[in-house]
A and B are shown apart, each in its own frame.
Chain A
Amino acid sequence: SQKIEQNSEALNIQEGKTATLTCNYTNYSPAYLQWYRQDPGRGPVFLLLIRENEKEKRKERLKVTFDTTLKQSLFHITASQPADSATYLCALVSSYGKLTFGQGTILTVHP
């Protein structure tokens, strides 16, 4: 069956360090993968999309990699700040267009 696993339910890091979050999947052949941020009491907000033929995508302090051989995406936040503290979700699209989310990783950046 198809599965999306986000390693580390929670990640704690010190301000200024790089946060690295992992998304692994099985039995998918996604054309693309998305990352979202969710703050408490709010719905998720889209951050980045990376296509299957792209190895890496950057947006400001964010960087996403996509390895279709390893079936893995890594999400990096460089120079992390306490305001980056949130839950981060990866999402994959199925062959008929339905988007499915991982369980999320709670990131806490300590000052």
Chain B
Amino acid sequence: GAGVSQSPSNKVTEKGKDVELRCDPISGHTALYWYRQRLGQGLEFLIYFQGNSAPDKSGLPSDRFSAERTGESVSTLTIQRTQQEDSAVYLCASEPGQALDEQFFGPGTRLTVL
């Protein structure tokens, strides 16, 4: 795998439905982040996984949002009972987990809630 991949690339859903977004980080990267980016806005931090440590969930906007990561591999971000304000691009990034790391971003999932 060359880089971080995310699926689906686009998701259109109806208000009230649950959605699940997937992120496959670069193999061997211990750190993984989820961000939300609304149109024309900056990156909004959602959640940070680092190795086996407890995740930093301080950015999750409500209890409708949750994320899991299995070991140091794939992560899923779940949004329950979607609202129109959840419409945004959801970006995933991974880091090797060493000092002075750069983040490698995936292409994002564009979520549209009708």
A in complex with B: yes
A interface residues (Cβ-Cβ under 8 A, vs B): 31-32, 34, 36, 42-46, 49, 51, 89, 91, 96-104
Contact A44 B103 (CB under 8 A): yes
The answer to whether the Cβ of B56 comes within 8 Å of any Cβ in the partner chain is yes
Residues of A within 8 A of B24 (CB): none
Residues of A within 8 A of B108 (CB): 42-43
Q: A34-B103, A98-B48 are in contact. List 18 more A-B contacts (CB 8 A).
A: A43-B93, A43-B105, A43-B106, A44-B43, A44-B93, A44-B103, A45-B105, A46-B104, A89-B43, A91-B103, A96-B50, A99-B33, A100-B45, A101-B42, A101-B45, A102-B42, A104-B42, A104-B43
Contact A43 B91 (CB under 8 A): yes
For the complex formed, measure the closest distance between the CB of A50 and the CB atoms of chain B, giving whole angstroms.
10
Closest to A102 in B: B42
Q: How many residues from B make CB contacts under 8 Å with A?
A: 25
B interface residues (Cβ-Cβ under 8 A, vs A): 4, 31, 33, 35, 41-43, 45, 48, 50, 56, 91, 93, 95, 97, 99-108
Residues of B within 8 A of A100 (CB): 45
Contact B100 A51 (CB under 8 A): yes
Closest to B41 in A: A103
Residues of A within 8 A of B106 (CB): 43
Q: Which of A36, A96, A97 counts the most B-chain CB atoms under 10 A from its CB?
A: A97
Question: Are A97 and B31 CB-contacts (below 8 A) given A43-B91, A49-B102, A51-B100?
Answer: yes
Contact A46 B103 (CB under 8 A): yes
For the complex formed, measure the closest distance between the CB of A88 and the CB atoms of chain B, giving whole angstroms.
11
Contact B102 A46 (CB under 8 A): yes
CA distance A34 to B41 in the complex (A): 19
CA distance A46 to B79 in the complex (A): 28
Closest to B102 in A: A46
